[in-house]
Amino acid sequence: MSEVKAVLFDFSGTLFRLEEDESWFHGIAVDDREVDGHVQAELMHRMTAPTGQHVEMTPEAHRVWVNRDLAPHLHREAYLHMLRESGLADEHAESLYGLLIDPMNWTPYPDTAEVLQGLHRKHIRTAVVSNIAFDVRPAFVSLGAAEFVDEFVLSFEVGAVKPDPAIFEFALDRLAVDAASALMIGDSDEADGGARAVGCRFALVDPLPTTERPDGLRTALSGYGVAV
């Protein structure tokens, strides 16, 4: 097995997680009923699940949903449709969507910053490879870790969505490493695991709440002989 010279990271559920504040749901009702903890959890799942369709969709709505991470306007249309079909009034759907796309609302996993810094110190190249339609760089700036990420390969900027091999090839080209020397870490075997098709190794992490996964990234790396 060749030495790991680059690590590609998914964003949502891997490096950061969207974790709600109770205040987000104050005054919000679903089908005219007050939102409880179970409904909150389901709405958060629908907003962050990397794959799947969660509500009934017309063929046109499904086309927009499938392509949502290729452009901000498609992302907005897709998620507002999903939230409305989940029973939210227009103004509440708009409010939750605004929270979703604010990178300052995303919580880093406890080992995110230290892992990125540790890889940088070891001269192991890194890229964030995400299916997303808004700029996540400010989240890394806020964490003090932006300087430790060599490349951001975001679907809406490169025009390809995981598991399309093209997005992984973009990342490898930018990092100037071959696939056999790269490791992809993500929370979706379907989307992130697509890196295996181009020859990368792959490690799956569980998108648990951040308080319940203190060292998931370190564990994933150690499985491939990388200690940080």
How do strand 125-130 and strand 151-154 relate by DSSP bridges? Answer: parallel
Decide if 111 contacts 216 (C-beta within 8 A). Answer: yes
pLDDT digits (tens, 9 = 90+) for 118-169: 999 999 999 999 999 999 999 999 999 999 999 999 999 999 999 999 999 9
84-to-2, 88, 133, 173, 215 alpha-carbon distances in Å: 49, 5, 20, 40, 36
Q: What is the pLDDT of residue 17?
A: 96
Cβ neighbors of 160 (< 8 A, separation 6 or more) are: 166, 167, 170
Q: What is the pLDDT of residue 20?
A: 82
Q: What is the pLDDT of residue 42?
A: 84
Q: What is the pLDDT of residue 217?
A: 98
Q: What is the pLDDT of residue 139?
A: 98
**Which strand ranges, in their side-by-side order, compose the sheet holding 125-130?**
151-154, 125-130, 6-9, 182-186, 201-204
Q: What domains can you pick out in the chain, each with its CATH number?
A: 6-17+106-224 (3.40.50.1000), 18-104 (no CATH)
Below-70 pLDDT ranges, the chain: 1, 32, 35-37
Q: What is the pLDDT of residue 205?
A: 98
pTM score, whole prediction: 0.92
Q: What is the pLDDT of residue 201?
A: 98
CA distance 105 to 100: 7
43-to-86, 108, 138 alpha-carbon distances in Å: 8, 20, 24
Q: What is the pLDDT of residue 38?
A: 73
pLDDT digits (tens, 9 = 90+) for 186-199: 999 999 999 999 99
